[in-house]
Structure 1
Amino acid sequence: MRFLNFILPALAETAAVDPNATGAELQGAGGWLQMLIFILPLALMYVILIVPQRRKDKKQREKINSAIVGDQIITIGGMVGKIVNIKDDEVTFESSIERSKITIKKWAIKEVIKPIES
């Protein structure tokens, strides 16, 4: 807050206008500063919150789309299995218990685990 207590009066002094100015001229002098005060936090929030989340989502989509038959997956419901078939936006996987096959949409995949090759 000390920073704002110092900066805002300094900005107000630089935005000072002629005392004989009309109302329209007075409005225009501080208008950009008021607009900046509202836009700057929104831009900062976008950069801090939204951009990293988009990067994370893009990485997740790429990992899901690169899944191949034989990879192990974990669904958003917590089921674990091995991919046996991939068709467009659907994935069929085989659970480890009783080898039951389940078909789900790709968006329901939480994580893809690539097999370790030796």
Structure 2
Amino acid sequence: MESLLQFVPLIAIFGIMYFLLIRPQQKKMKEHQNMVSALRRGDQVITQGGLIGKVSKVKEGENEVEVELGEGVKVRVVQSTIATVLSKTEPAK
């Protein structure tokens, strides 16, 4: 019985760590995946490198986005490196 009581604090610590660290991180990661999957042409985004641009093309099968940084300056960016969407465009009717 005493050996079982020795494991109770370890189990409690793991439970606390799960609810304070692991679960919020998983929720944040899921929100980021939803944000990236909802990217459309015309959205203004910030990449993890700090570049601000407008999405000009979304390549579905390749997991890439073409971002226009300035007039005539387009770069290909991996979708998961999009950090923030500044402004969303309205969906086409």
Q: Any idea what SS the aligned residue of 1:47 has?
A: helix
Match of 2:64 in 1: 90
Runs of 5+ in structure 2 lacking a partner?
none
| Correspondence list, 1:72-91, <5 A | 72-88=44-60, 89-91=63-65
Contiguous gaps of at least 5 residues in structure 1: 1-28
1:1-118 paired onto structure 2 within 5 Å: 29-88=1-60, 89-96=63-70, 98-115=71-88
Structure 1 residue 53: Cα displacement: 1.3
Letter of the 2:32 counterpart? Q
SS in 2 for 1:44: helix
Shift of 1:116: 7.0
Contact 2:40 / 2:89 at 8 angstroms: preserved in 1?
no
Which structure is higher in strand share? 2
- Greater radius of gyration (CA): 1
SS of residue matched to 1:83: strand
Secondary structure of the corresponding residue to residue 76 of structure 2: strand
Judging by fraction of residues, say which structure has more helix.
Answer: 1
TM-score, normalised to structure 2's length?
0.86
TM-score (norm 1): 0.69
Task: Please report how far the alpha carbon of residue 99 of structure 1 lies from its aligned counterpart in structure 2 after TM superposition.
Answer: 3.0
Alpha-carbon offset, residue 115 of structure 1: 3.9
Q: Give secondary structure in 1 for the equivalent of 2:68.
A: strand
Identical positions, percent: 33
Supply the distance in 1 between the matched residues of 2:88 and 2:34 (Cα, whole angstroms): 17
Kindly state the Cα deviation for residue 31 of structure 1 after the two structures are TM-superposed.
1.4
Structure with greater contact order relative to length (CA < 8 Å, sep ≥ 6)? 2
